[in-house]
Amino acid sequence: MQQYPQPIANLIDSYKKLPGIGDKTATRLAFYTIDMDEDDVTKFAQNLIAAKRDLHYCSICGNITEQDPCEICTDKTRDQSTILVVEQPKDVMSMERMNDYHGLYHVLHGVLSPIEGLGPEDINITSLIKRLQKDTVKEVIVATNATPEGEATARYIAQLIKPAGIKVTRLAHGLSVGSDIEYADEMTLIKAVEGRQEM
């Protein structure tokens, strides 16, 4: 069986390290890259290096940033009494696109997952507790995903914070706009009923 030349094989191996990329997709991406204009490939490589070199995590909230502390943490016009807790930096970007939340954030960089061996010490919870020791924070909104791990993480955070007298809320989960009840799973329906609001 004929093997790929080493540069192609190395490129395929590099693409396979990305999440959700298997052999076929990695091979297709490698050959696509080879067919790209050399200037585009050079720019692509420079962007990869710059993203790795120039970005880091904010020492306060854990969001990805070029400056430390990040722009959100240093923005005094934001509501300093509310912290919205999310799993990943990309979740911050999603919330910011909504343009309706004007408080602060805290990024966990994961969730509790005993199956994967991830406990409280493996995610960014300790710095959250330190932030809450300031009197300015009145509410923590837990916005972890509606997965078993996300729910367990939300409950754990609530148990840690509630004794301090800080209000802990959870983003509402349930039926999305335009969905049919008959196609919703049991957990979605439970959350929809729990999160019902008066009309």
Give me the number of domains the chain comprises.
Answer: 2
Residue 156 lies in a domain: yes
CB distance 62 to 51 below 8 Å = no
The CATH number of the domain holding residue 41 is 1.10.8.420
Do residue 81 and residue 163 come from a single domain? yes
Q: What's the domain range around 25?
A: 6-54
Residue 175 lies in a domain: no
At 50, list the tokens.
């710059």
Residue 70 lies in a domain: no
Mean pLDDT of the chain: 90
Do residue 138 and residue 100 come from a single domain? yes
- pLDDT, tens digit (0-9, with 9 covering 90-100), for 138-188: 999 999 988 889 999 999 999 999 998 999 998 877 767 777 767 777 777
Residue 102 lies in a domain: yes
The CATH number of the domain holding residue 115 is 3.40.1360.10
pTM value surpassing 0.85 = no
